[in-house]
Amino acid sequence: MKKQTKTYGGLNMERFFLYDDTVDTKTRFVSFVGKNERFDLAIVQTDRFYGKVLVLDLQSNRFAIIGSDDLQEPGYIEHAYNINEEEANELRNFLHEIVG
């Protein structure tokens, strides 16, 4: 555990980092149009998430760490990206190609 001391407004504040790592990633930027919705995504692959990918929706500023198990979970995509069932199915179908 790394300890850092900083002064803020005359107060000494200590911050304890649980981790502070730099990792290599592979990022794919993809934009596609479904039947009712446009998706602008950044898909980040790293060894950090145990085989899952970080999927950022650049339009809504929402993100989720997604694996194939999450795509099978009812309502997960709808909730994570705040979209309706039809839009979620379009996104889910695309993500199946990415995460398997």
| Residue 31 belongs to domain spanning | 26-95
Residue 30 lies in a domain: yes
Residue 5 lies in a domain: no
Report if pTM > 0.85.
no
Render pLDDT for 37-83 as a digit per residue (tens, 0 to 9).
899 999 999 999 999 999 999 999 999 999 999 999 999 999 999 99
Q: Computed over its alpha carbons, how large is the radius of gyration of the chain?
A: 18
Residue 47 lies in a domain: yes
Residue 54 lies in a domain: yes
19 contacts 1 by C-beta, under 8 angstroms: no
Complete DSSP assignment for 2-67: EEEEEEETTEEEEEEES-------EEEEEEEE-SS-EEEEEEEE-GGGTT-EEEEETTTTEEEEE-
Token pair of 94 as six digits: 């695309």
Q: Total domain count for the chain?
A: 1
28 contacts 43 by C-beta, under 8 angstroms: yes
